[in-house]
Amino acid sequence: MITDPWFYTAAIPAILLTGISKGGFAGGIGLVAVPLMALTISPVQAAGIMLPILIVMDMIGVWAYRRSFDRLNLIYLLPGAAIGIGIGTLLAGTVEDDHVRLLVGLIAVLFVANYLFAHVAERPPAGPGKVRGTLWGMIGGFTSFVAHAGSPPFQIYMLPQRPDKTIYVGTSVMFFTIVNLIKLPAYASLGQLVAGNLTTSLVLLPLAPLGMVLGIKLHHRIPERPFFRVTYALITIVGLKLIYDGVTSLFA
């Protein structure tokens, strides 16, 4: 178990922000969890500690959004996600965390730039697409496996469809619930679920329902248009943060 107080200074807000995000508010801000925790421990260990906590959050989210999700989009996304997780498992130990941070950050920022400057909001909503769903599901599965950073690829696929905000969050909850369960045996086989990490996860676990409840309450109080504006703004902030972390670490 980790006893360093500086770790908990980073981990407590990281888990609360993740819960708020997964609960349905400030989508994407949960990406900061592993980078925040990685300020005091290795990103690999941070990812191992986060996974059991994420799964508990997922179970709460499944109950809250059990009637509000898009089955067709899940059918398109999940096979690709399983492939991405498989690729992540095969490449574990050879892919630098900073490369993944940089990649995810660039994808997130370019996605928002395209939305702003290509007048995406003025176009008719996109429909579900099997090829697009498989592609972005695969990228999301891979980045989720490496650093729990699957939100930007998922959002790039889902947001142009302009779904109802509750359907959007519910689909996200169901997608990442299944993704995280698929990741579980792979993490165990790679030694990321050792006793010390699991004990630390258990200590932090009470924060999971607190963050989720806050996110669910905020989701139902924020109107749809501001909700998506906040989502795009936070994707930009998180993307820039990941780019900064990746570049500074690579050149350090």
Read off the pLDDT of residues 155-193 as tens digits, 9 standing for 90 and up: 889 988 988 888 998 999 999 999 999 999 999 988 889
The whole-number average pLDDT for the span 130-136 is 96
Domain boundaries, the chain: 5-250
How far apart CA 16 and CA 82 sit, in angstroms, is 27
Per the CB < 8 A criterion, the answer to whether 40 and 4 are in contact is yes
pLDDT over 80 at 108, yes or no: no
**Mean pLDDT, all residues of the chain:** 85
Comparing 97-111, 183-197, 211-225, the range with the smallest average pLDDT is 97-111
Q: Are 52 and 246 in contact (CB under 8 A)?
A: no
The gap between the terminal CA atoms of the chain, to the nearest Å, is: 29
User: Is-contact 192 51, C-beta < 8 A?
Assistant: yes
* Contacts with 197 (C-beta within 8 Å, 6 or more apart), sequence order: 45, 48, 49
Q: How far apart are CA 244 and CA 75, in angstroms?
A: 34
